Structure formats: C-alpha cells, structure tokens
C-alpha cells in the first residue's frame, strides 16, 4: 500500500500549523521593510536645539563667514584656546581655531572638543568656507571671468540605457536595478534551500533519536518515509514563498497607490487612481520603468522551478546526512561540505553580477550544484531559453538521481545506532543489496 500521501500530509500540516511558521511568514515582509526604513528614519531626526560652537579667528578674515545653521550656532570669541580648555566651559561643544591664512596654510584650521567632533560639524565648516576660498583663489589668478569659464566647462553626461524589446519597442532599463533583482532572488533561493534543507535533516534525525523510526519502518518502506518528508517540507517552503509573493504584490500595489504611480497593476484594477498625495521622483520613475521591462512571469516561474530543483537536490543530501548520525550535534562534520558548496554557489553568483554572460556565470548556471543560485543572477539579463531548459533538465535529473542514492543511505542509516559511521562505510550502504 502506498502511504506517501499520508506522510506528506502529516509533514506538511504539522509544520504549517506551528505558530512560529504563521507568525514568521506574515511578519517577515513587514520586518524587512522596517529593517530598511527605521534606521533611515531615526538618522534623519535632528536635534531640536542648535549647538553652540566657538570661533576663534586669529586672522579676523573668516569669522563673518560662519553663518548659523539649524544645527549649529557660531559665536565669535576673543579669548585664548587654553583659557577655554582650563575653564571647562560647557556652553560650547566645540572650538574652531583658525591660526593663519587658509589659502597658503590649509592646515591652519583645527576643531577642538572634549568629545569626539561630529563629522557633521566639520562637513558644515568645509561647506561654509569652501566657496569663499575657491572664489578668492580664482580671483588671485587675475583672469577675468574665470569663474564663469570653469562653471561652463563642467559637463554632466546623462546616459540613458535603452533595451530593445522583442516586439520592436524600446524601454528604458537600468542594469543596476536588474542586477539588484538578480541578487534578491539569489539570496532568496540560497536562504530557502538552506533553511528547508536543514529542516529535512532535523526531521530525519529526530525520528531516529526519538526511536519512532522503528515502528514507522514496520509499516512503511524507508524510501517512502524519506520522500514524504522531502516533499512535505518542500510544500511548506512553497507555501511560504507563495504567501510572501501575495503579500508583496499587495504591498506594492498599496505603495503604488500612495505614491500615485502607475505600477501597471493598478491600471488594470483601478484606472482612476493615478494621482496621489506624493509626487514622483525622477529616479523612482526610472526604477519603475525598469521594473516593468523585466519579464516577471518568466523570472518568477524560473525562480520556482529552480528552487524546487535545488531544494530536491540539496534536501536529499541533508536527508542522507541526517540518517547517518546519532544526534543533531554530529551532523556538523557532514554539513560542512554541503554548506561550503552552497556558499561557493552564492559567491559565484555574486561575482557573476559584473558579467552575467561570462564563463563563470555560464558554467555555474549549468552545473546542478550551483545552478539554482547562479541562474537567478542571470535571469533579469535575459538568458537564452535553451540554456534555462538545459540547466533545468540537468538539475532535475541530478536531483532525482541523488534522491535515489540518498534513499539507499537512508534505509540503512536510520536503523544504525552506536557507532560513528565513516564516509567509506556510508558509501557501502548504497551498494548493499536487499532490504
């Protein structure tokens, strides 16, 4: 009798129901957004009160330049630096001392404080003095109209990158954005394969340590048990991805509405909602234009396929490892090679950003152990279909083969207790006939 469906169902339902899963899945998108926006917001809060800074100008030339800013209130003082230091006057947070003509002695300006001088302050001082000094220097050359000449010779190139679409239209693209999308998907695939693969390993080892495995194998073939675990846990991962997908979809639609931008989703559902309370930034429109050139449906479907393939491949490794050890602690020595592989794949992916069609990227996106991760980097850059298909075929073929091999290791390993098995012994289990 085939109990595969029953096993898959149990593995899936017991994990989906866990509070930790539900909480994490629903909160993660918000957490990620918060992680990005909260520090940004915090750093933008300025102190309300302006701080007092004393200016000791021994040249009497620069003092009038120090105009008050919202953060700092500059006060010209006549006393000596030493006096202030011994006085320990708390009313000034810093002392600016200008000892000489700054054009000839640019090092003659120093800021003293009994606390670390904030970078903000020295930036402001530079800003305040720079224009004056520059003008003064230019004037010293005694060339008429020098200032205007220099200004006119400043050229700003505005390079537009345009992608030729299949249908003959053009659309503005940004390779930076495409690379960013690639990186995001790469990290996602890497994270999910690692997390869910580890879950499989933990489940296998738990059945071994709790000893329930003995009665399980008196009812079910070990291969079914292993496969049920891999598939059931895989579905949990897919569910999480799916839920996040929906949430991000909704979030983006919501943000689009708020910013008054047509993200393409909105026109379909609500043609009236074009303007909103905020105005569009030019970069934002370029970002969104790039986003709309990217072939989302194909990228997302490739993402799912590569995740499934990579997960099947790696989780079967993890299942075999879990069956060969006695407890969670022992998994360490076997985990190392597998984790190294994944990290190598991640780095291969990151180095491919610069050159998505180069040899490193090309080969690593075909080799099954690294392909799920590296292919993600390449996808936003339009990979030829035959490469994607080839990579998927190799990936799934290898995954299925690995599942078979791991099954042979699993069926022996789960009933082995007591001695630490070496790699050599484990390899023998693969060939061991009869069961």
Which listed residue (284, 415, 423, 427) binds another protein by CB under 8 A? Answer: 415
User: What is the C-alpha to C-alpha distance for residues 36 and 167, in angstroms, rounded to an integer?
Assistant: 37
Tokens, residue 38: 């909260």
427 makes contact with another protein (CB under 8 A) = no
Indicate the residue among 232 and 368 with the shorter CB distance to another protein.
232
211 makes contact with another protein (CB under 8 A) = yes
Indicate the residue among 214 and 354 with the shorter CB distance to another protein.
214
Least distance from another protein to the Cβ atom of residue 21, Å: 13
216 makes contact with another protein (CB under 8 A) = yes
Indicate the residue among 222 and 380 with the shorter CB distance to another protein.
222
Least distance from another protein to the Cβ atom of residue 401, Å: 24
Residues in the interface with another protein (CB under 8 A) total: 23
* 221 Cβ neighbours under 8 A, 6+ residues apart: 411
Stretch that binds another protein, among 155-163, 182-190, 216-224, 339-347 (CB under 8 A): 216-224
Are the CB atoms for 223 and 4 separated by under 8 Å?
no
Tell me how crowded residue 207 is: count the other CB atoms within 10 A of its CB: 19
User: What is the C-alpha to C-alpha distance for residues 251 and 233, in angstroms, rounded to an integer?
Assistant: 27
Between the alpha carbon of residue 135 and those of residues 62, 105, 130, the distances in Å are: 13, 16, 8
Stretch that binds another protein, among 91-99, 131-139, 211-219, 331-339 (CB under 8 A): 211-219
User: What is the C-alpha to C-alpha distance for residues 235 and 14, in angstroms, rounded to an integer?
Assistant: 12
Least distance from another protein to the Cβ atom of residue 206, Å: 8
Site for another protein in 268-307 (CB under 8 A): none
215 makes contact with another protein (CB under 8 A) = yes
Least distance from another protein to the Cβ atom of residue 222, Å: 9
User: What is the C-alpha to C-alpha distance for residues 230 and 64, in angstroms, rounded to an integer?
Assistant: 74
48 makes contact with another protein (CB under 8 A) = no
394 makes contact with another protein (CB under 8 A) = no
Indicate the residue among 47 and 329 with the shorter CB distance to another protein.
329
Alpha helices in 75-161 (DSSP H): 81-87, 119-140, 146-152
How many CA atoms within 13 Å lie on the side-chain side of 314?
Answer: 35
Place of tokens 């690995």: 402
Place of tokens 């993890």: 318
Place of tokens 């930036």: 123
Place of tokens 């597998």: 338
Which listed residue (22, 212, 250, 343) binds another protein by CB under 8 A? Answer: 212
Least distance from another protein to the Cβ atom of residue 10, Å: 6
Angle at 321 between CA 318 and CA 325, to 5 degrees: 140
| β-strand partners of 98 | 57, 109
210 makes contact with another protein (CB under 8 A) = yes
Indicate the residue among 57 and 207 with the shorter CB distance to another protein.
207
Indicate the residue among 170 and 435 with the shorter CB distance to another protein.
435
Least distance from another protein to the Cβ atom of residue 199, Å: 14
Q: Write the interaction track for another protein spanning residues 4-43; mark x where CB under 8 A is met and - where it is not.
A: --x---x---x-----------------------------
User: What is the C-alpha to C-alpha distance for residues 377 and 365, in angstroms, rounded to an integer?
Assistant: 9
Considering Cα of 118, then 124, then 130, then 133, what sign does the dihedral take? Answer: negative
Tell me how crowded residue 347 is: count the other CB atoms within 10 A of its CB: 14
Which listed residue (3, 51, 73, 163) binds another protein by CB under 8 A? Answer: 3
Tell me how crowded residue 191 is: count the other CB atoms within 10 A of its CB: 12
Indicate the residue among 325 and 345 with the shorter CB distance to another protein.
325
428 makes contact with another protein (CB under 8 A) = yes
Using CB under 8 A as the criterion, which residues of the chain lie in contact with another protein when the complex forms?
1, 3, 6, 10, 14, 206-207, 209-212, 214-220, 415, 425, 428, 434-435
């Amino acid at each position: 009798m085939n109990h595969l469906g029953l096993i898959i169902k149990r593995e899936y339902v017991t994990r989906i129901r866990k509070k930790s899963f539900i909480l994490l899945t629903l909160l993660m998108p918000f957490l990620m957004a918060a992680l990005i926006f909260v520090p940004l917001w915090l750093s933008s809060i300025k102190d309300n009160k302006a701080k007092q800074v004393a200016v000791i100008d021994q040249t009497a030339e620069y003092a009038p330049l120090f105009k008050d800013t919202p953060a700092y209130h500059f006060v010209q003082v006549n006393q000596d630096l030493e006096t202030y230091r011994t006085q320990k006057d708390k009313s000034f947070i810093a002392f600016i001392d200008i000892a000489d003509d700054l054009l000839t002695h640019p090092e003659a300006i120093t800021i003293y404080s009994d606390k670390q001088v904030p970078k903000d302050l020295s930036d402001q001082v530079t800003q305040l003095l720079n224009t004056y000094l520059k003008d003064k220097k230019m004037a010293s050359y005694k060339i008429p109209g020098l200032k205007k000449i220099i200004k006119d010779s400043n050229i700003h190139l505005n390079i537009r990158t345009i992608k030729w679409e299949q249908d003959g239209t053009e659309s503005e693209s940004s390779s930076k954005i495409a690379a960013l999308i690639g990186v995001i998907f790469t990290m996602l695939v890497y994270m999910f394969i690692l997390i869910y693969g580890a879950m499989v390993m933990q489940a296998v080892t738990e059945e071994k340590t709790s000893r329930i495995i003995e009665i399980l194998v008196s009812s079910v073939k070990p291969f079914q048990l292993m496969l049920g675990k891999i598939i059931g846990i895989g579905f949990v991962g897919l569910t999480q991805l799916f839920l996040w997908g929906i949430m991000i979809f909704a979030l983006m639609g919501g943000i689009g509405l708020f910013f008054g931008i047509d993200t393409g989703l909105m026109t379909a559902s609500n043609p009236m909602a074009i303007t909103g309370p905020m105005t569009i930034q030019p970069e934002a429109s370029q970002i969104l234009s790039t986003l709309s050139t990217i072939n989302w449906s194909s990228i997302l479907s490739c993402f799912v396929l590569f995740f499934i393939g990579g997960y099947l491949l790696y989780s079967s490794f993890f299942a075999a490892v879990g069956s060969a050890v006695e407890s969670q602690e022992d998994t360490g020595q076997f985990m190392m090679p597998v984790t190294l592989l994944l990290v190598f794949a991640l780095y291969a992916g990151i180095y491919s950003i610069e050159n998505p069609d180069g040899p490193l990227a090309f080969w690593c996106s075909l080799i099954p152990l690294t392909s799920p991760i590296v292919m993600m980097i390449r996808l936003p850059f339009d990979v030829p279909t035959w490469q994607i298909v080839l990579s998927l075929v190799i990936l799934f073929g290898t995954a299925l083969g690995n599942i078979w091999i791991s099954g042979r290791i699993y069926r022996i390993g789960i009933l082995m207790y007591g001695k630490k098995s070496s790699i050599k012994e484990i390899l023998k289990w693969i060939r061991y006939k009869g069961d």
